[in-house]
């Protein structure tokens, strides 16, 4: 059962990270096209920068960052200070790992909850971006996918840490 859950969680984290990478690649292409268009403005051939590129970049970057969080959590790639780890007993290290994962689960849950409330707020007021007039709630909704994946992965990491404390294999 644990192995199936591990495979599912790894699939979710990997799929979100790949989606985040795809969003970044799209933003790179859009930015390059916009810069080329900006350079062609003096030629007066009807080409120019992409209108609202800053708005699209802002929304895309937020969505990509949230999409990368589950993979960072699963692979234990978040920044940690392991100054005293070499001199700590293994049991204390495993306990701190569990405490860290519990804290990350709390951060993921609270952050996702607040992101959802922010999305509802932007949706109810109909707020749009300044230049492209993109509804702001769409950026929140795009980020919410990664945030929900973050909760799932963080909960699995708590389970994984608990298993390590009990001496069970990963």
The model's pLDDT over 134-155, given as tens digits with 9 standing for 90+, comes to 999 999 999 999 999 999 999 9
E strand segments, the chain = none
Nearest to 155, CA basis, from 85, 88, 75, 73: 73
CA separation for the pair 150, 79 (Å, rounded) = 16
pLDDT reading at 111 higher than 80: yes
Residue 142 and residue 62 in contact, taking contact as beta carbons nearer than 8 Å? yes
pLDDT at residue number 88: 85
Residue 129 and residue 55 in contact, taking contact as beta carbons nearer than 8 Å? yes
Global pTM value: 0.91
pLDDT at residue number 170: 79
CA separation for the pair 24, 169 (Å, rounded) = 36
For 13, what's the count of Cα atoms within 13 Å in the CB-facing half-sphere? 23
The model's pLDDT over 49-82, given as tens digits with 9 standing for 90+, comes to 999 999 999 999 999 999 999 999 999 988 777 7
């Amino acid at each position: 059962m644990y192995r199936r859950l591990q495979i599912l969680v790894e699939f979710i984290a990997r799929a979100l990270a790949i989606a985040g990478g795809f969003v970044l690649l799209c933003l790179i292409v859009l930015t390059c096209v916009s810069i080329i268009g900006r350079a062609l403005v003096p030629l007066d051939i009807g080409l120019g920068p992409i209108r609202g590129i800053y708005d699209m970049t802002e929304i895309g970057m937020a969505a990509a960052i949230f999409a990368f969080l589950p993979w960072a959590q699963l692979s234990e790639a978040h920044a940690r200070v392991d100054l005293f780890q070499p001199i700590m007993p293994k049991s204390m290290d495993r306990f701190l790992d569990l405490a860290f994962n519990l804290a990350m689960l709390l951060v993921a849950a609270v952050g996702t909850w607040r992101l959802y409330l922010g999305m509802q707020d932007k949706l109810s007021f109909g707020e749009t971006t300044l230049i492209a007039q993109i509804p702001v709630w769409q950026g929140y909704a795009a980020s919410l996918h990664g945030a929900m994946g973050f909760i799932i992965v963080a909960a699995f990491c708590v389970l994984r840490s608990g298993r390590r404390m009990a001496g069970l294999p990963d």
